[in-house]
Amino acid sequence: MQIKKASFKQSASSIFGCPKTNMQEYAFIGRSNVGKSSLINMLCNNNKLAKTSATPGKTQLINHFLINEHWFLVDLPGYGFAKTGKDQKVKIETIIFDYCKKRDQLVCLFILIDSRLELQKIDLEFMLWCGENEIPFSIIYTKADKNSKSQLEKNIKQIESEILKHWEDLPNSFISSSEKKTGKEEILDFIDFNIKAQNSLKA
């Protein structure tokens, strides 16, 4: 699939402010600074679409981007930003948890994981929370350009072995680099497959 048109629709501080449409949504979540907004820009071929920053905590709201006039990519705030005050942390967690749990339009949640690091406690905790709440997810390993191929493979193997301590099967996963535009086709094809599957369910 190709993204022919992408535009910012709106920001919301809770699910009540999200677009009142039945269009399908594909959302990106993960630790602050993992590369969620950059990935959206890479997929849409527009570096100015979602706001990115080297400083964690840039995205604070639920941001909807309308794609090809008929579905949304959703940029969520990151979890686990240590410098956020307690009140702000609770506020962001409420936004994230509410969106993931209650947004009926959400078809696929992509959890982004930094491919340079071992599995972080907070990522595992979020995955376990998704499991408890029956929210299916896929993984996108980010910043693949920052590793050698062998280091990347080693890190991912290690993360997968941690995941397998809690699940019988591995979730769907993708390797990406927004810098080098890696993973674009695979992620968009996966979304396309899901869009068609959802449409045929409704037909």
Per CB under 6 A, residues contacting ligand GTP are: 30, 32-38, 52-54, 56-59, 77-78, 142-143, 145-146, 177-179
Residue 71 has φ and ψ, to the nearest 5°, of: -155, 170
Partner whose footprint covers residue 84, from Mg ion, ligand GTP, none (CB < 5 to 8 Å by kind): none
- Residue number, 145 or 186, with CB nearest to ligand GTP: 145
Question: Quick check: 136 and 108 in contact, CB under 8 A?
Answer: yes
| Binding partner of residue 57 among ligand GTP, Mg ion, none, CB cut-off 5 to 8 Å per kind | ligand GTP
Query: Which CB, 44 or 195, lies closer to Mg ion?
Result: 44
Can residue 38 be called a binding residue for Mg ion (CB under 5 A)? no
Measured N-to-C along each axis, helices 36-44 and 184-202 cross at an angle, to the nearest 10 degrees, of 80
Dihedral sign from CA coordinates of 115, 188, 4, 27: negative
Contacted entry of ligand GTP, Mg ion, none for residue 24, CB cut-off 5 to 8 Å set by kind = none
Chosen residue from 33, 41, 59, 84 binding Mg ion by CB under 5 A: 59
Name the one residue in this structure whose structure tokens are 């191929």. 149
Angle CA 35–38–41, to nearest 5: 150
Asked if 37 interacts with Mg ion (CB under 5 A), we say: yes
Residue whose CB is less far from ligand GTP, 18 or 195:
18
Name the DSSP class of 23: -
DSSP string, 53-86: -SSS----SEEEEEETTTEEEEE-PPB--TTS-H
Closest to ligand GTP by CB, 24 vs 38, is 38
Least Å from the CB of residue 35 to ligand GTP: 3
CB of 59 to Mg ion, least distance (A): 3
Q: Could you give the count of Cα atoms lying within 13 Å of 71 in the half-sphere of its Cβ? A: 22
Interface ranges with Mg ion (CB under 5 A):
36-37, 58-59
